[in-house]
Structure 1
Amino acid sequence: MKVYGIAGWKNSGKTGLVERLVTEFTTRGLRVSTIKHTHHRADLDRPGKDSYRHREAGAQEVMVVSGARWALLHELRDAPEPPLEDLLPRLSPVDLVLIEGYKSGSHPKIEVHRQETGQPLLADTDPGVRAIATDAPGTLATDRPVLHLDDTEAIADFVLRDLGIR
């Protein structure tokens, strides 16, 4: 599976870009999966639900299955967060996995940068950043390709070219 990241500081527009790229790539006939990394304590379950009660009782993993989807919840129980490399093999094979977050990972990535956040470019210290998608393309001093954040087609073309897909 090919892997490509979308990284940036908080409120830079990562999720919106990932959403648009998934639509763009699937429209082009690619099978796409995503991994979303968060620093928050994410809980996809709700108190009172049976699956929540199973986890609270001590289950290491709980699988929830319906006619529309299935989800596997894995409790770390104070174990360290697994690295991205350990999680990727748990996904079913697809053409492309888009990674949102994991900004310090070594995988290739596009940095999403909004000038209004005032944050420095990750590209200045991260050789894995292959290009920058920004809302202010004429204002960045960088040696990386700069793409307009709203030009989803151009960003998708860049990712596919960089990965050697199509």
Structure 2
Amino acid sequence: MRLYGVVGWKNAGKTGLMERLVTEITGRGFTVSTVKHAHHSFDVDHPGKDSFRHREAGASQVLLASRNRIALMHELRGAAEPTLDVLLTQLAPVDLVLVEGYKRDTHPKIEAHRAVTGNPLIAPNDPTVRAVASDTALQVDLPVFDLDDTKAIADFILQEAGL
């Protein structure tokens, strides 16, 4: 599987860019999966639901299935967070996996950047960042795309990924 990341600081536009890229790339006939890293605790389940009750009772994994989707929840219960490489083994084969976050991993990435956040660029100090998508002109030694130019960003990623 080919892998490409979208990184950036909070409120830089990563999720919106990911969403637009998935739409653009799947619209071109490629299959795409995504991985999103969260730095905080999250829950995809709801108190009172059967699957929530199974987890609360101590189940290590709960598989929820219907004719529309499946969801596998795995409780770490104090174990170390799995690496991105380990998580990727859980995905079905696709043409491209887009990864939001995991900025310290070694896969190629594009950085989302919004000037209003006031955050510095990650790209100058990270050789895995191959381009920047920004809402402002930047002076960097990398390709810079308009943050809203999804087609050009998708073209770049697909070329970089060899698709």
The percentage of counterpart residues that share the same residue type is 63
| AA matched with 2:162 | G
Q: Distance in 2 between matches of 1:101 and 1:41?
A: 15
| AA matched with 1:100 | E
Q: Distance in 1 between matches of 2:126 and 2:64?
A: 38
SS in 2 for 1:153: helix
In the alignment, what sits opposite 2:34? Answer: 34
Q: Distance in 1 between matches of 2:50 and 2:94?
A: 31
TM-score, with structure 1 as normaliser = 0.97
SS in 2 for 1:16: helix
In the alignment, what sits opposite 1:54? Answer: 54
In the alignment, what sits opposite 1:142? Answer: 140
SS in 1 for 2:89: helix
In the alignment, what sits opposite 2:117? Answer: 117
Shift of 1:7: 0.5
> Which of 141, 149, 152 is equivalent to 1:151?
149
SS in 2 for 1:24: helix
SS in 2 for 1:23: helix
TM-score, with structure 2 as normaliser = 0.98
What is the RMSD computed on CA atoms of the aligned residues? Answer: 0.6
In the alignment, what sits opposite 1:72? Answer: 72
**What are the Cα deviations for residues 49-108 of structure 1, in whole angstroms up to 9, with x where unaligned?**
100010011111000001100000000001111110110010000000000111111110
1:162 aligns to 2:128 (yes or no): no
Shift of 1:13: 0.6
Number of residues paired by the alignment?
163
Q: Distance in 2 between matches of 1:44 and 1:74?
A: 11
**Unpaired stretches in structure 1, ≥5 consecutive residues:** none
1:103 aligns to 2:98 (yes or no): no
SS in 1 for 2:17: helix
**What are the Cα deviations for residues 104-156 of structure 1, in whole angstroms up to 9, with x where unaligned?**
111100000001111111112111000000000x2x22111100000000000
Q: Distance in 2 between matches of 1:85 and 1:68?
A: 27
List structure 1 runs of 4+ shifted beyond 6 angstroms.
Answer: none
